Structure 1
């Protein structure tokens, strides 16, 4: 199938299936350490973690679409550039930024007498969805055979519009991933760990932030 992709002989449906195959396997393995750590550190619960997982996947779909559209115009040079240092640099930067965001944006609530003990830390505003989006957009740059095949097909099309269509189909397929289940479970686990243990909240945030920063540094040094 990959040979047919490179030859430009496969349509949007098969590209979608290629994305599904990646979303069910490599995407989960690559992305869960980042998004699972984010949701666990925030102890966000099921609803927020699911929303952040959707935002994360939206970032991936957008990047796949933009990359394939660019490949339709620029050719295979873009696929080769993915193997360079700038892809890992963007992933590392996004991960480090997410870790720092956890540290900076968390705060202790006021001393309201009836404040529930399960929420000793809070996060401010809908802007907290920005790190998951950035992580999704950056992790879509991870070099792999399916992505290289997608870009080869887009380059064969010779059109930014056709390339964008292939990228969108691939991204929507890759969005069919266990991430949508596993990330909310990580958020719920964080909340359960925190329940009745207000002292644990700060440690969870610090530990999750440290893991994200270390993951980012590892990418930067790769």
Structure 2
């Protein structure tokens, strides 16, 4: 058996590794999951943070937990992230986001696709409860989606886990995870906030007469991507 050479990384090196990862592969991996979400919202760039904040917090939490756990328990964490539960987490979160968008449409009463007649169940439920469920499920789903993205193994993450395990310290490992996470999140956040969000907003403006069909297509894509991820047909 070939011994694994220990890896030592500084906070700055982990940050640069995250930046290099976020500048390329990360954007491609995130686009199929976040792209359809942006096409269902009207607030464009100004409201992009409502999508990107919970998603980015999920990724930061995931990288920090993994690196901290590696610093405490060693390289078994690398085997853990390769398990099938990761794709079920990401796939399930994507489907949750799709149904959260559908629920928001159903309870908002301001979308042309909504029916003018509500069901008895929704009418009898207190308006505040409807609003809380509509506002809470989407950020929660986006957070879990970001968490699932963070748990997917990749070469840069493997390096961080190995360096964290070498440090044999929860705090040192977690600091490497935070540095990598911040670097990996910065560029995709800027690109999605100013690029994808604006593009999605323009699509909604130019296809205003087909808004219901656009939202239905986006929801359908999220469900399809979520199912394909959960069953391992596609990998982010």
TM-score (norm 1): 0.84
Is contact 1:28–1:179 with CA below 8 Å preserved after alignment? no
The match for 1:114 is: none
- Counterparts of 2:142 and 2:39 in 1: how far apart (Å)? 13
The match for 1:193 is: 203
Is contact 1:44–1:190 with CA below 8 Å preserved after alignment? no
The match for 2:147 is: 137
- Counterparts of 2:67 and 2:108 in 1: how far apart (Å)? 45
Q: Measured at CA, do residues 31 and 110 of structure 1 come closer, stay the same or move farther in structure 2, by a change above 3 Å?
A: closer
- Counterparts of 2:201 and 2:29 in 1: how far apart (Å)? 24
How many corresponding residue pairs?
211
- Counterparts of 2:150 and 2:218 in 1: how far apart (Å)? 22
The match for 2:184 is: 174
- Which range moves more in the overlay, 169-178 or 126-135? 126-135
Q: Measured at CA, do residues 74 and 106 of structure 1 come closer, stay the same or move farther in structure 2, by a change above 3 Å?
A: same
The Cα RMSD (Å) is 2.6
Gapped regions of structure 2 (runs ≥ 5) = 115-129
Choose from 135, 148, 153 the match for 2:158: 148
TM-score (norm 2): 0.79
Deviation per residue, 1:164-203 (Å, 9 max, x gap)? 1111111011112234223553333333333375542221
- Counterparts of 1:207 and 1:187 in 2: how far apart (Å)? 17
Deviation per residue, 1:79-123 (Å, 9 max, x gap)? 112112111111111111111111122137658xxxxxxx75799
Deviation per residue, 1:117-163 (Å, 9 max, x gap)? xx757995642333222211111111101111111111111111111
SS at match of 1:143: coil
Q: Measured at CA, do residues 6 and 42 of structure 1 come closer, stay the same or move farther in structure 2, by a change above 3 Å?
A: farther
- Counterparts of 1:40 and 1:16 in 2: how far apart (Å)? 31
Give the Å deviation of 1:212.
0.9
The match for 1:162 is: 172
- Which range moves more in the overlay, 56-65 or 189-198? 189-198
- Which range moves more in the overlay, 54-63 or 168-177? 54-63
Gapped regions of structure 1 (runs ≥ 5) = 112-118
- Which range moves more in the overlay, 132-141 or 143-152? 132-141
Matched, 1:42 2:52: no
The match for 2:95 is: 96
Q: Measured at CA, do residues 109 and 96 of structure 1 come closer, stay the same or move farther in structure 2, by a change above 3 Å?
A: closer
Pairing 1:118-133 to 2, within 5 Å after superposition = 120=112, 124=131, 126-127=135-136, 128-133=138-143
